Chain A
Amino acid sequence: MENNRKIIRQSLSNRIVHWGIAISTILLIVSGFGNMPMYKRYNIVKLPFGEFLGSFINMLYLHYLSAAFLCFFVFYHLFVHYFAKEFDILPRKGDVTQSFLIIKAMITKSQEPPSDKYLAEQRIAYAFIGGNVLTLVITGFIKMLKNLDSINIPNSINTIVTNIHNAATMLLILGLIGHIAAFIFKENRKMIPGMFTGKLDEDYVKHRHSIWYENLTDDEIDVSNNVTKEEKKFETSSM
């Protein structure tokens, strides 16, 4: 019999943060490249609505506006989890080896090692993308200060900060490509609905996140099913 029960993996707050950061990052990349003299040279401005992209000042407005949203979501994310003491997604010792084993299992279609709420490679990807986003926020903030008439940033700092900002952008783009490329593996595709609804199939969680599954709290079981943890455990053991 098919099990339709769901496990709550991402709260509404997490989903808003994820998509808020995703959309503002895409806008920042678009406007960031618009601040490079690229769109005119590569004829992007000739595409429909492309003219807007050809204006450096429009791109700067869009960049700052998106940066404001990104900063809001990033700092909200950092502090809400810090205050609530939720650190599931931070990398742990042995994650690199564990990631290798998970990817190997996905390729060879063998048994994956047991995982917690997040897979080891998700924790590594989080650290990589998060580290780059933080670097971009800090360097972007300094670059922004430089454009204010009243603030004088030394030339050497400006040059270093600008080049770190550019390098971190490239690394972030690579990270985002890797993030999306993860869905090449069929095993990962079941996570996609969770990024919209916040819920995952119970069978999937049991199979892939067995450590987390064993320690689920009542809050993480979809209340719409009216099933408590005890009932879940009972049903699981009687299966």
Chain B
Amino acid sequence: MSNGINRREFLKRSTAAGIASVLTLTVGNEIAKAESELSNKATIIDLTKCDGCVNLGTPACVTACSKKNSDKFPVVNEELLKPYWPQPKFEDHSKNKDITDRLTPYNWTFVDKVEVDGEIISIPRRCMHCDNATCLGMCPFGAIEKENSGAVCINDELCFGGAKCRDVCPWSIPQRQAGVGIYTKIAPEYIGGGVMYKCDFCSDLLKNGQKPACVTSCPKNAIIFGEKEELRKKVYELAKEMNGFVYGDKENGGTSTFYLSKIPFEKINDQLKKQNTSPEGPIMGRPLMEPEIENKLDTVTGMAISAAIAPIAGIITAGYVASKRLKGEKTDGK
């Protein structure tokens, strides 16, 4: 062959390339297949079973979550714990890592307790993992991801800690820790505020076909894990059997967390409001259970369609104007 490759070498290289291509396609397809096969998962949190682990100092799910995720908790650079200019404050939970009665960057689930009609109700709280998560849709840095399992996860390497996700979350779930993250490398006093942290549905365990730590640790089997569609059906069957109520299926356009209760959630929320609201406003890290929460992203769908139609309208108008102009030129030419 003229380019210095003989027939034998050509066949050898072609065969190698062929094998490499087949391997790449096969392995690539397998990875893609495994990812796509990881269908939407969900949990039912049965409030008729959860007792908040009355006999334990800390509820088992909270301890298990903390243990499982300890390596993901923020490691703070103390020198960078400075107010967010021009604000006089900054958010630091690093001195209170042991707090377990609210959500913090070091505590991604907690069990709230309310008394309704003389009955104590224990409510495990964490990220609901919304279907069309507002935090994900509105993050200005694309730092929030949704996995095939339905887990909504914050990428701590991309998050600037602006806390917009907490503002747009109907339950204000993500919590901010200052002195950590990408913002510390740019202009920490002036831009950014840290990193937002929240439950990631133990997404690494889900990828390995395992269950989240809160599920496996619950001594009362109050948290049921499974395929989302099956659990959705199941939670309504259970609600029907006990003449109870479901929270989380419709709220914010749908989530992967279905709460089951014998007591209406309006009543639970009324109590939560009383104990989780201070004169300054809602207490951070202690979410309410507002009924019928609308997904704010649904309200912009019409506007998104208008923006999608606008280019077509522009092209049609351009065609009309150009043809009129060209016709005018032709007339002048006559």
Give the segment of A100-108, A145-153, A200-208, A226-234 that binds chain B: A145-153
Asked if A155 and B145 sit within 8 Å, CB to CB, the answer is: yes
A53→B306 CA distance, assembly (Å) = 22
Binds B, one of A36-44, A88-96, A122-130, A174-182: A36-44
Stretch at the interface among B10-18, B97-105, B119-127, B292-300: B292-300
Chain B contacts of A159 at CB under 8 A? 141-143, 145, 155, 158
Interface membership of A133, Cβ < 8 A: no
Across-interface contacts of B322 in A (CB, < 8 A): 79-80, 83-84
Of the candidates B141, B315, B319, the one having the most CB atoms from chain A within 10 angstroms of its own CB is: B315
With A83-B319, A149-B131, A149-B132 as given contacts, are A60 and B311 in contact (CB-CB < 8 Å)? no
B138-163 vs A, CB cutoff 8 Å, 1 = contact: the mask equals 11111101110000000100100011
- Contact pattern, A 127-162, Cβ under 8 Å of B = 1, otherwise 0: 000000000000001001111110000010011111
Interface string of A42-70 (1 = CB under 8 A from B): 11000000000000110011001101111
Q: Note all chain B residues with C-beta closer than 8 A to A160.
A: 142
In chain A between 159 and 201, which residues have their CB closer than 8 angstroms to a CB of chain B?
159-163, 166
Residues in B whose Cβ lies below 8 Å from that of A119: none
Check: B308 CB closer than 8 A to any chain A CB: yes
With both beta carbons as reference points, the residue of chain B lying nearest to A84 in the complex is identified as: B322
0 or 1 for each of B271-305: is its CB under 8 Å from A? (1 = yes): 00000000000000000000000011111110110
Cα(A158)–Cα(B145), bound, Å = 9
Docked Cα-Cα span, A41 to B315, in Å, equals 41
Tell me if B225 is interfacial: C-beta within 8 Å of chain A.
Answer: no
Report Cα–Cα, A83/B314, bound state, in Å: 13
Contact status A71-B137, CB under 8 Å: no
Asked if B84 is at the interface (CB within 8 A of a chain A CB), the reply is yes
Pair A75/B314 contact, Cβ less than 8 Å: yes
How far is the CB of A156 from the nearest CB of chain B, in Å?
9
Q: Are A72 and B321 in contact (CB under 8 A)?
A: no
B162 interface neighbour in A37, A67, A72, A74, Cβ under 8 Å? A37
What secondary structure prevails in chain A residues at the interface with B? helix
B142, A149: Cβ atoms under 8 Å?
Answer: no
Asked if A99 is an interface residue, CB under 8 A from chain B, the answer is no
Let me know if A56 and B167 touch, CB within 8 A.
yes
Contact of B313 with A by CB under 8 A: yes
The interface size of chain A toward B, counting residues with CB under 8 Å, comes to 46
Check A162/B314 contact, CB under 8 A, given A83-B322, A83-B323, A84-B322: no
Residue B87 interfacial (CB < 8 Å): yes
* Chain B CB within 10 Å, residue with most, of A67, A68, A141, A162: A68
A4 CB, min distance to chain B CBs, angstroms: 26
Chain B residues with CB under 8 Å of A43's CB are 86
Known: A35-B140, A42-B86, A163-B142. A148 touches B301 (CB 8 A): yes
B138, B155, B307: most-surrounded residue (chain A CB, <10 A): B307
Does A111 make an interface contact (CB < 8 A)? no
Expressed in whole angstroms, the Cα–Cα distance for A67 and B87 within the complex equals 32
- Residue A213 at the chain B interface, CB threshold 8 Å: no
- Interface contacts (Cβ under 8 Å), in number, total 137
A149/B163 in contact, CB under 8 A: no
In the assembled complex, B244 has its CB within 8 A of some CB on chain A? no
Instruction: Please indicate which of the listed interface residues A13, A155, A163 has the most CB atoms of chain B within 10 Å of its own CB.
Output: A155
Q: Are B164's CB and A144's CB within 8 A?
A: no
A41, chain B: closest CB distance, angstroms: 6
Instruction: Indicate if A76 sits at the interface (CB-CB under 8 A).
Output: yes
Contact of A75 among B298, B299, B315 (CB under 8 A): B315
B297 and A147 form a contact (CB under 8 A): yes
* Distance between Cα atoms of A163 and B155 in the complex (Å): 14
Q: How distant is the Cα of A36 from the Cα of B138 in the complex, in angstroms?
A: 9
The residues in B between 150 and 187 inclusive whose CB is less than 8 angstroms from any CB of A are: 155, 158, 162-164, 167-168
Task: Please determine whether A71 and B298 come into contact, CB atoms closer than 8 angstroms.
Answer: no
Query: In the complex, what residues of A have CB within 8 A of residue B27's CB?
Result: none
Q: Across the interface, do A79 and B297 meet the contact criterion of CB distance under 8 Å? A: no
Determine the chain A residues whose CB is within 8 A of the CB of B167 once the complex forms: 37, 56
A134-B112 Cα distance, complex, nearest whole Å: 49
Are A79 and B319 in contact (CB-based, < 8 A)?
A: yes
Inter-chain contacts of A149 with B (CB < 8 A): 131-132, 253, 295, 297-298, 301
Q: When chains A and B are docked, how far (Å) is the Cα of A221 from the Cα of B300?
A: 47
Besides A41-B86, A68-B307, A75-B318, 19 other A-B contacts (C-beta < 8 A)? A41-B193, A57-B300, A64-B303, A64-B304, A64-B307, A68-B309, A75-B310, A75-B315, A76-B314, A76-B317, A76-B318, A79-B314, A84-B322, A84-B326, A141-B307, A146-B137, A159-B142, A162-B142, A163-B141
A-B complex: 7 closest residue pairs judged by Cβ atoms: A162-B142, A75-B314, A83-B322, A37-B162, A79-B318, A64-B303, A155-B145
- 28 intermolecular pairs with C-beta atoms under 8 Å apart: A13-B321, A36-B162, A37-B162, A41-B193, A56-B164, A56-B167, A61-B300, A61-B303, A64-B303, A65-B303, A67-B310, A68-B307, A71-B314, A72-B310, A72-B317, A75-B314, A76-B317, A79-B315, A80-B317, A83-B318, A83-B326, A84-B326, A141-B307, A144-B308, A146-B137, A148-B301, A155-B146, A159-B141
Interface residues of A (CB under 8 A from B): 13, 35-38, 41-43, 56-57, 60-61, 64-65, 67-80, 82-84, 141, 144-149, 155, 158-163, 166
